[in-house]
Structure 1
């Protein structure tokens, strides 16, 4: 028996909902997002804040991708925490959703002083050709309630603990809090590692990931609120914050974070 590896480029990207006026309207930002994504060509993208109309627009600029997701208010209603994936590389074996609340199976539930429902979308993926399997979760934590972030991180770790322990797990998300935080500690206790710390190389160490449509530095490193974290047989080669901006225009009020990693499997 030998060990083989398979490379993955994983992105987390809060694309911002489609409610802003010019110059930050969705229609004006979509070409910038298309340029960014077609240059980066991620294998998997955990997105936050997409409405269904934006999901369709994303598919129009990503013709080689499919997605899994559900509106946080059920059906196509509300923001998605959708996962886009290259259909020439992966098959989805199973997927589901749950809500970050005391009643995670109840669509749209809020019990931790949320302003709005928060949820997790997850999938079990199989790489075509190699047969390698792994899990990916994607989420968007509450921006106001510390209780919701702490309890949400605990539920995320608990549910990930129910996955097949032989398989790697990666989580993408906008956690709305920096790395030196209680949610980060909880996920670390759950066996997860922040790829920013485990990566052999880092790009943009002076940056944060929230730019508010105006800050080329993303408010600095304490504002690295968008994370890629992993558990299991995953080696991270590099991670970087992609701080695209053109003439004062930004693709989103968040910068995407891109991690290059390798998943190990036995043959």
Structure 2
């Protein structure tokens, strides 16, 4: 089955962004969803009200997830999905910490609580075909937290994949460029704690460098990405691009969304 996967850091709502605050960007974010029609989209930094804004503008989508402080508190790693293409089977969430099930804990020098939301979907066109989607946001300040977080992500999703025997997708703002050990580990290029990931990075299918994905509302292409789409080895990539569109003259976020296509 063909599937399109997006990762999109929405940039949380703050009035300090002035003309780039969520008030002025929410229609643009919804336009990106409507224009590119991802089957599933892992988002980061969405506050509860922001996600409600998108839901109102995108009736063809639903979403799952909780805030990183539980319930609707704080930023979410919400997963959006097209209701006409896939059906939600199950979902859950855990913390990237030394106590993944909670209670709330910041581990390894992280400045914020960090979480991963996951969902299991079945294709409506072929209900026997299902897949897992994990979505996350690694810490921006602690390298140890990024490395330990990536290791925990791999451990959890691989155990889940082995248990249900389904392909798995991983999206996220990893706050790390491709040569960072956290990314090298997820790419299977670096062993950590005796483990080696078998995930594939969609960017590695490109003939050249993907360019910048975080741009601070300044735009541009020169640089390296920190937003990624990974998959288990039973997923075949057919394309990937960083979307650098403006909508009504504004960038929808301080991150560009990344869109990948695959066959599961």
Q: Same fold (TM over 0.5)?
A: yes
TM superposition shift of 1:206: 5.5
Give me the whole-angstrom Cα distance separating, in 1, the residues matched to 2:57 and 2:247.
19
Instruction: Give every structure 1 segment of 4 or more consecutive aligned residues whose post-TM-superposition deviation is greater than 3 Å.
Output: none
TM superposition shift of 1:107: 4.2
Note if 1:179 corresponds to 2:178: yes
Q: What are the residue-to-residue correspondences of 1:209-248 with 2, within 5 Å?
A: 209-217=213-221, 220-222=222-224, 224-245=225-246
Q: What are the residue-to-residue correspondences of 1:244-255 with 2, within 5 Å?
A: 244-245=245-246, 249-255=250-256
From 41, 45, 49, give the equivalent of 1:45.
41
Cα deviation, 1:85-129, whole Å, max 9, x if unaligned, reads 011111222111000110111143112111110000001111113
Per the alignment, residue 78 of structure 1 pairs with: 74
SS at match of 1:164: helix
Give me the whole-angstrom Cα distance separating, in 2, the residues matched to 1:246 and 1:37.
12
Note if 1:62 corresponds to 2:62: no
Give me the whole-angstrom Cα distance separating, in 2, the residues matched to 1:216 and 1:118.
28
Give me the whole-angstrom Cα distance separating, in 1, the residues matched to 2:245 and 2:210.
15
Question: Do the aligned partners of 2:212 and 2:220 also contact (CA within 8 Å) in 1?
Answer: no
Long gaps (5+) in structure 1: 1-5
From 8, 12, 16, give the equivalent of 2:7.
12
Question: Do the aligned partners of 2:200 and 2:233 also contact (CA within 8 Å) in 1?
Answer: no
| Structure showing the higher strand proportion among its residues | 1
Note if 1:208 corresponds to 2:212: yes
SS at match of 1:36: helix
Q: Mark the CA change 1:168 to 1:28 in structure 2 (over 3 Å): closer, same or farther.
A: same
RMSD: 1.6
Q: Provide the aligned length of Structure 1 versus Structure 2.
A: 252
Question: Do the aligned partners of 1:214 and 1:248 also contact (CA within 8 Å) in 2?
Answer: no
From 30, 33, 48, give the equivalent of 1:34.
30
TM-score by length of 1: 0.90
Give me the whole-angstrom Cα distance separating, in 1, the residues matched to 2:237 and 2:185.
21
